[in-house]
Amino acid sequence: MAERISSLVLIFVSIYVFWSSLKYGVGTPVKPGSGLMPMLASLLVFCLSAGLLIKEMLRTGRQRGKEDAAGLGRYAKPASLVAGIVAYSMLLDVLGFITATLPLLFLMFSITEPRKWRGNLLMSAVITLVTFAFFRILQVDLPVGFFHIGW
């Protein structure tokens, strides 16, 4: 049952991200827009979630009886990651790329690779700045937010 719920949630999130990515502009194959990668990622998540949902619906009754005894506790990490990504997609325009990406990566590293917080913060900062520089080299306009951080 939990797999069905998580699949449905991811399907709805991927539809939201897909429609949100269209407002950034997909561009053309020669000059892709900033909405192309979120759109492709949302299509991938949609297809994988739909496949998992179909697989779960086709399971037999005996297989359904062998549900994991851990219950929904095993879904806490993935649910936190999905919630972080949803919050990121809503706050990206408001906060800007750097100020929205840094906390998202810190959250993701802290959840998936629990280490000392300084290491997670350093990795998050380096990845955010390298990604920002890479997009600047490609001349992709990223949201600067109300802090106007970016060049």
Same domain for 87 and 39, yes or no, is no
Domain termination residue (choose one: 27, 42, 67): 67
pLDDT band at 42 (very low <50, low <70, confident <90, very high): very high
Domain termination residue (choose one: 16, 42, 67): 67
Supply the range of the domain harboring residue 52. 1-67
Same domain for 59 and 83, yes or no, is no
| Residue 145 CA, distance from chain mean position | 19
The interaxial angle of helices 2-22 and 36-58, nearest 10 deg, is 160
Gap between the Cα atoms of 119 and 134, Å rounded = 22
Gap between the Cα atoms of 70 and 112, Å rounded = 19
Number of domains in the chain: 2
Structure tokens at 30: 């020669």
Gap between the Cα atoms of 57 and 60, Å rounded = 8
Q: Which of 90, 93, 148, 88 is nearest to 124 (CA)?
A: 88
Same domain for 63 and 109, yes or no, is no
Q: What is the pLDDT of residues 97-120, one digit of tens each?
A: 999 999 999 999 888 877 888 999
Residues belonging to the chain? 151
Q: What is the pLDDT of residues 57-75, one digit of tens each?
A: 887 555 555 554 445 567 7
Structure tokens at 123: 């990795």
Gap between the Cα atoms of 50 and 3, Å rounded = 11
Same domain for 22 and 63, yes or no, is yes
Same domain for 148 and 79, yes or no, is yes
Q: Which of 106, 99, 140 is nearest to 121 (CA)?
A: 106
- pTM equals 0.55
Same domain for 56 and 81, yes or no, is no
